[in-house]
């Protein structure tokens, strides 16, 4: 069976490819991730996949499109459901390509991450399977998450710190941003208090 595997990044592809190959499937990768921002992050993930795919002799098709403007336009009015929109936006391209180019099924390495909305992802893929009359090869790769992470570290593969879009980057650092904001407020209040109470002068006089 020929399977077209949408690849979101090299680390997530490690166990996805391994498990599909263990089932004697003929796997080809497909890179299409216009949701990844900013550009240097997009380039780092794309190039990491290029290097890894050569290492494991995996053919990969690259639809190399960086899409900040277009992505933001699609999700800005519905940020709550942006992940499902993002899944559909990428995987419709994959399913269509698979159908038109003689593949028996399509799959995605997004099924590997425990941080994705797994059920929403399955729902999108099942809908696309019906729409394009092509099999969605479902595989829950999540049990192999830690193994894949360790392998990526061992190989020195670039490992991202957030899902992909600028909104997920904000989510990733939300707590840090809030902590820094609170610290700045405390520092301002402390400086104000010192000024009002002449604390620096008291220190000087005590010396």
168 assigned to some structural domain = no
Whether residue 73 lies inside any domain: the answer is: yes
Asked whether residue 6 is assigned to any structural domain, the reply reads yes
Shared domain for 145 and 99, answered yes or no, is yes
Angstrom distance (rounded) from CA 11 to CA 4: 17
Look-up of token digits 């996805």? 16
Dist CA 102 CA 7 (whole Å): 19
- Is the Cβ–Cβ distance between 159 and 3 less than 8 Å? no
CA atoms of 10 and 93, how far apart (whole Å):
19
Closest to 55 measured CA to CA, from 156, 150, 139: 156
Question: CA-CA distance, 46 to 7, in Å (whole number)?
Answer: 10
Q: Is residue 46 part of a domain?
A: yes
Residue 167 within any structural domain of the chain: no
Q: Are residues 112 and 182 in the same domain?
A: no
**Same domain as 130, residue 188:** no
Rg over alpha carbons for the chain, rounded to the nearest Å, is 23
pLDDT at 201: 57
pLDDT number for residue 204: 54
Q: What is the three-class DSSP state of 163?
A: coil
Q: How many domains does the chain have?
A: 2
Cβ partners under 8 Å of residue 153, min gap 6:
159
For residues 142 and 178, membership in a common domain is answered with no
**CATH code of the domain covering residue 118:** 3.40.50.620
Does one domain contain both 125 and 156?
yes
pLDDT of residue 3: 98
CB 128 within 8 A of CB 89: no
Residues near 110 by beta carbon (within 8 Å), at least 6 away in sequence: 6, 8, 12, 87, 116, 121
In terms of domains, do 135 and 177 share one? no
**Domain boundaries, position 49:** 2-161
Per-residue confidence in pLDDT tens, the chain, 207 aa: 999 999 999 999 999 999 999 999 999 999 999 999 999 999 999 999 999 999 999 999 999 999 889 988 988 888 888 899 999 999 999 999 999 999 999 999 999 999 999 999 999 999 999 999 999 999 999 999 999 999 999 999 999 988 888 787 777 666 666 566 666 777 677 677 777 777 765 555 555
**Rounded to whole angstroms, what are the CA distances from 62 to 33, 119, 146?**
10, 27, 27
Q: Can you state the percent helix, strand and coil of the chain, rounding each to 5?
A: 65, 10, 25
Q: Are 45 and 24 part of one and the same domain?
A: yes
74 DSSP assignment: H
* Residue 166 in domain: no
Assigned domain for 142 exists: yes
Which residue in the block uniquely carries the two structure tokens 């166990």? 15
Q: What is the pLDDT of residue 78?
A: 80
145/58 Cα distance (integer angstroms): 20
Whether residues 46 and 146 share a domain: the answer is: yes
Alpha-carbon distance of 72 to 82, in angstroms, equals 10
């Amino acid at each position: 069976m020929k399977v077209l595997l949408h690849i979101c990044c090299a680390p997530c592809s490690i166990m996805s490819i391994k498990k599909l190959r263990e089932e004697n499937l003929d796997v080809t990768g497909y890179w299409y991730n216009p949701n990844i921002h900013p550009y240097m992050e997009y380039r780092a993930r794309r190039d990491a996949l290029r290097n890894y795919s050569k290492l494991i002799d995996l053919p990969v098709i690259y639809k190399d499109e960086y899409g900040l403007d277009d992505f933001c336009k699609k999700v800005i009015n519905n940020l709550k459901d942006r992940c499902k929109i993002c899944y559909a936006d990428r995987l419709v391209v994959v399913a269509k390509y698979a159908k038109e180019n003689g593949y028996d099924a399509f799959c995605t390495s997004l099924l590997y991450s425990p941080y994705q909305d797994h059920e929403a992802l399955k729902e999108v893929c099942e809908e696309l399977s019906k729409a394009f009359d092509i099999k969605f090869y479902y595989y829950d790769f999540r049990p192999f998450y830690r193994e894949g992470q360790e392998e990526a570290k061992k190989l020195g593969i670039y490992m991202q710190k957030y899902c992909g879009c600028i909104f997920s980057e904000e989510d990733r650092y939300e707590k840090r941003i809030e902590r820094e904001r609170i610290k700045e407020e405390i520092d301002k209040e402390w400086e104000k208090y010192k000024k009002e109470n002449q604390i620096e002068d008291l220190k000087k006089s005590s010396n």
